[in-house]
Chains A and B, each alone.
Chain A
Amino acid sequence: MKKVLALLVAAVLSVTLVVSLVACNDKGNGNTLEKVYENVIANGDPTQATGYVEGTNKDIKVALITLHDENSTYDKNFIDAFKAAIAAKGLTEANYAITTADEKAECYDKAAKFARDGYTAVFADSFGHESFIMQAAEEFPDVQFYHATGTHAHTEKDLPNFHNAFASIYEGRYVAGVAAGLKLQSMYETGALTTKNFKVGYVGAWPYAEVISGYTSWFLGVKSVIDTIEGATLNMEVRYTNSWYDETAERTTAQALIDMGCQLISQHADSMGAPTACETAGIPNVSYNGSTEANCPNTFIISSRINWQPYFELMLNAAMGGSAVPNEWTGTFASGSVELTALGATAPAAGTQQKLEAVIAQLEAGTLKVFDCSKFTVGGKKLTSYTADVDDAGDFKGETEVVKTEGGVTYFAESYYRSAPYFDVIIDGINAVK
């Protein structure tokens, strides 16, 4: 008996060894990703892209799985965009279902149920849903599964029906940062601020790439304005709440940042905690995922958000018989996926609107790169090369070279090799716990 058991264990171990060797070889080194499931960056109206075929079959059923119900701003963003896409495609309530699922096996159960009930497309909106949606995709190869913010679609060759999507929100944050920088500049010019050592604060949720990319791009936006002021310096304090939604934590953290001397706050967190703290303290605030002007009329500057409607329309189109959606897709300003809300009525500086429009035009044209390596330093030195953890194979080590040079500009190519952000460098001027 013991011998049999030993043989069994040996067999299992050797099989594991062989499989892992094979997998290793498949990865290769450097940029082999460009051969597999290339990330499609939508640089214009997706319906005008080459190969786009309009679908016409309206007898379809699609499903949306959200983490919380519509009372959460994050999920409401998806639900509203989804309903708008349904209406734009001429579909009705009979064509879709919306449900909530936790980031557990429940997500798989619900996705599998939809697949069994004849739904041809299932979309899940939260980071933790990924494993379970992939599990459903394995089991139902004829149903298309879509997942926002995920990182595995571009490497899973065995799952052609599993898709990831995101948007170049870092560009949206950069523009919001420009608005913030203009506000700081005007505060200095009117004497509200008496020092040229500007300090801003950021309330982040989790210390990982998606959040780091967000605050760095925002910081660089602010810096682009501050750098035009002679002798000015800019520093940013980042604190994490380690939660996507914790009203008290966000409010207290924002208050702590204000007490540290931050003159302007932004955040990547789902509650109204930080904007509320800013309004009470009279500190300008740049919010995320929706305008907070109604509740914070005196301090709201601007907000950036991802508009999922273009992607949903692509998804619906595929379900209706049209062209398939790429496995990895990144929306941009040009595709209508990145949006900025209207500027606040009282807080922003004069002339912000025109300046923002100019910046957006440059971003869309590709002449301005947010992560331009000449505009920031890491440990005192400019970045010339960086291997990021793009394949997210669970080893938490970088393997893809992401610094590119194009048109004479060397930049960190964010959301290029995959849709979900992978910028996890802490640059100089930012004080964050990693």
Chain B
Amino acid sequence: MVNVITSAVLFSAVFLYGCLGEILTEKSGHLNLGIPGIMCMGTAGGAYGVTIVMNAADAAGAEPSYILLLLAALAFGFLFGAAAAAIYGFFTITLRCNQNISGLALTTLGSGLAQFVMNGITDDGIQKTNLSRASRILSKSLPFANDLGWFGQLFLSYGVLVYIAIVVAIIMGIVLKRTRLGLHLRAVGENPATADAVGINVTAYKYGAVTIGGGIAGLGGMFYLLDSTKGSFENSSTIEGFGWLCIALVIFVLWKPNVSILGSILFGLLFLLGYLLGISEPITQNLFKMLPYVVTIIVLIVLSIIDTRENQPPQALGLPYFREER
């Protein structure tokens, strides 16, 4: 039982990062369907950063430093994701293009580009091993976790990246709900015309949310490479699939970062349930695979029927903002 939850938590961190990134983006009124491509770019970024540190360490003949690896993975994963999201931002905020289309185009471009960069890295056998070595270092859990029995296994046995995700979620929740910055951002997402009239710099907030949200989502891709698969990468289709799930997960957690922690664990559990139970019969297995999506649809429907203010998507979600039309 404990193992089941541990697997779900480990897996859910991928979703958590992606979900948080998309929540931030959607809070500013942008439905970024390019999250799958952005997460792929984050994978490429994480791999790139880690490769640089490992090569430098090997050249110096020393063991790679944990902190340096962590920083490189975080920085480059974030940067690549943010850069990809910036492209989406440019087309949807400045050029006022339709958000769905731009997002879909970014998904195609991002996954192709990421695959290309990753192939360049993994074609070299040494780099391939470096990725797996780096990921073993990064996913090491707290040293005393194993000694604390089931409590340690359940709460303390994860790599640092999982905890970073939880911290980011908590910070985002606080920022969105209790700070002026968060208030302005929510205003921009609900009614940009009003926000503009009050003097909030709508474009800056939108760009900020989209880019930073993209960066966080990119960390999800980086986490998948460096923790879930322990550094082995073959193609970007798996991460792309997760990106779509993250978009669904945002609805599932009602656009609330705090709920997203538990929500992504639950979602991860639903996703893995069939395999964890050892179900092999094809029809039953496929019904289990359907579960996360069906549950999301139900949540969507229930939310729209109940229609309470706090649980709705940002009102201006998906609409470009034209000051002239105010």
Contacts and interface: CB of A to CB of B under 8 A. Distances in A.
A346 interface: no
B117 to A, nearest CB: 13
B308 interface: no
A145 interface: no
A63 to B, nearest CB: 23
Interface string A236-268: 011111100111110111011101100000000
Nearest to A294: B129
B296 interface: no
A272 B7 contact: no
Given A71-B235, A271-B234, 7 more contacts: A240-B282, A251-B228, A252-B275, A256-B277, A276-B230, A294-B128, A295-B129
B11 A248 contact: yes
Contact of A253 (B132, B271, B275): B275
Contact of A248 (B125, B128, B230, B272): B272
Given A242-B282, A253-B278, A433-B281, A280 B234 contact: no
Contacts of B231: 295
A260 B278 contact: yes
B282 A251 contact: no
Contacts of A259: 3
A232 B180 CA distance: 70
A43 interface: no
A432 interface: yes
A271 B285 CA distance: 19
Given A247-B229, A295-B128, A252 B7 contact: yes
A61 B84 CA distance: 42
A138 interface: no
Contacts of A73: 234
A255 B5 CA distance: 12
Contacts of A249: 275
20 contacts: A73-B234, A239-B278, A240-B282, A242-B280, A247-B234, A247-B238, A248-B11, A251-B228, A251-B229, A256-B276, A256-B277, A256-B278, A272-B232, A280-B230, A294-B125, A294-B132, A295-B128, A295-B132, A432-B280, A433-B280
B288 to A, nearest CB: 11
- Chain B: interface size category: 20 to 34
A207 interface: yes
Contacts of B108: none
B14 to A, nearest CB: 9
The 4 closest A-B pairs by CB, nearest first: A272-B232, A252-B275, A433-B280, A240-B280
Interface string B200-234: 00000000000000000000000000001111101
B16 to A, nearest CB: 16
A294 B275 CA distance: 27
Contacts of B282: 207, 240, 242
A119 B232 CA distance: 37
B230 A71 contact: no
Contacts of A71: 115, 119, 234-235
Contacts of B232: 272, 276, 295
Contacts of B285: 240, 242
B179 interface: no
Contacts of B119: 71
Overall SS of chain A's interface:
mixed
A133 B272 CA distance: 37
Contacts of A433: 280-281
Contacts of B11: 248, 252
Interface in B254-308: 271-272, 275-278, 280-282, 285-286
Contacts of A272: 229, 232, 234
A239 B280 contact: yes
A401 interface: no
A72 interface: yes
B179 to A, nearest CB: 36
B169 to A, nearest CB: 22
Contact of B280 (A207, A245, A273, A295): A207
A279 interface: yes
B168 to A, nearest CB: 23
A432 B125 CA distance: 36
Contacts of A273: 229
Contacts of B277: 256
Nearest to B286: A242
A294 B232 CA distance: 10
A101 to B, nearest CB: 17
A301 to B, nearest CB: 18
Nearest to A237: B278
A169 to B, nearest CB: 22
Contacts of A294: 125, 128-129, 132
A255 to B, nearest CB: 6
Contacts of A252: 7, 11, 272, 275-276
A433 B282 CA distance: 10
B230 A279 contact: yes
Contacts of A251: 228-229
A237 B278 CA distance: 10
A276 B229 CA distance: 7
Nearest to A276: B230
A295 B228 CA distance: 13
B122 to A, nearest CB: 9
A300 B282 CA distance: 30
Interface in B78-137: 115, 119, 125, 128-129, 132
A71 B230 CA distance: 18
A252 B279 CA distance: 12
Given A248-B11, A249-B275, A255 B3 contact: yes
A314 to B, nearest CB: 30
Which of A207, A240, A242 gathers the greatest number of chain B CB atoms within 10 Å? A242
